[in-house]
Amino acid sequence: MKKICVIGLGYVGLPLAVALSKHYSVVGFDINQERIQELQRGYDRTAEIDKSTLKTTALHVTHNVEEIEKQEIYIVTVPTPITKDNKPDLTPLEKACETLGKVIQKDSIIVFESTVYPGVTEDICGPLLAKTSGLTQGKDFFLGYSPERINPGDKVHTVDKITKVVAGETPSVTELLVEIYGTMNNNNIFQAASIKTAEAAKVIENAQRDINIAFINEAASIFNKVGVSIYDVLEAAKTKWNFLPFEPGLVGGHCIGVDPYYLAHLSKEIGHEPEVILSGRETNESMPAFIAERLAGIASENKKRLLILGLTFKENVPDLRNTKVVDLMDKLKKQGFDISVHDPYADPEEARKFYGLELLTSLDGLEPYDMILGAVPHKEYRALSQDQLQRLTTDQGCVADLKAMWRNLTLEGQRQYWSL
């Protein structure tokens, strides 16, 4: 039985490691000791794997480097964030390579799943592994790439049910990756032409979504200023067979709000100005300011008690990374709003640690607000009734709804409804 080690046990690595452990001997490694202890207790803070599965899986998890020696295949799933000036931050990837350089041996195969721009696997990771290990790339150890496609919170498109793209440094490595990933996902495999091709495919997947959402966000901004709802427009436009049904909103998270900058970086490195890619990013990054400006125009000068519903970067997940709700809050505070925040999925300690926020623990018994803002369409918020929304707002208050969760409800009194 092949011995596999998955490096990084977050949203990507943990589901992959659990799925592979049904067929192979798998060790999951993460430098976060607290994360390992939680997983050993059967608790996954990402909510991707349930407790019963964690308790029964054959996967062994560890934070000790000594326990990942003598594995045949290493799969790296560490995050690839951006810096404050929107440049690729390969630090987690480089540290993973330095760690692996101490444990890999002759004939080891190192597969990367982290999102990067074309060339990173072979031109940056490979040489770093060679330098740290003293081994020769392409002779003593071999590289592969299989881009991750995890969609946090998605219980349908799980890692064992989606197409896996694979590419190896040699035909034999590619063949091995086809076998390993195919065992896990019923042979739903696509062989890319090369590692660089697979890297490029991944980075354009999210860049394309970013650009499509940017177009809808720009359209929403235009229509909102003339009193037309983008959701009414989309409802009509979607009746055409080839219309792409993207929706407006805040674009954050660790994929769509990050990956385009990796492609833009490569573009600039080779002397090409990435106009479309960065234009889409600029449009999406401008949405918090646009929304704050519109809400400030609705609110009375001394009636700016605001309740924000939702903090995570997307619905029904606890992930707070790169959430644009925080950016929106900063813009709203500059407009004079006094803000409270509630989110049933966000970890209160993480909200406090990363953003200095004290989350409300319940929506019960609150004094009515001048305005409530549905920022993230968690299922709990979608289920709020007319009476519940009215109890949360003053008689002359406003219900603001970024994702049109409540557009079909009728509000009583002098309450007003606003959406994009």
Q: Which residue has the tokens 């319940």?
A: 362
167 alpha carbon, distance to own chain's centre: 24
Give the span between the Cα atoms of 327 and 226, in whole angstroms. 25
Give the span between the Cα atoms of 28 and 44, in whole angstroms. 14
Decide if 255 is catalytic: yes
Query: What is residue 60's three-state secondary structure?
Result: strand
Give the span between the Cα atoms of 84 and 258, in whole angstroms. 11
Within a 10 A sphere around the Cβ of 161, how many other Cβ atoms?
14
The vertex-369 CA angle with 366 and 371, nearest 5°, equals 140
Per the DSSP assignment, residues forming a β-bridge with 166 are 191
Q: What is the dihedral of CA 383, 386, 388, 394, to 10 degrees?
A: 140
Within a 10 A sphere around the Cβ of 295, how many other Cβ atoms?
21
Give the span between the Cα atoms of 259 and 114, in whole angstroms. 11
Q: Among residues 5, 97, 125, 255, which one is catalytic?
A: 255
169, 195 contact by CB (below 8 A) = yes
Decide: residue 146, CB within 10 A, 0-12 exposed, 13-18 middle, 19+ buried.
buried
The residues annotated as belonging to the active site are 255
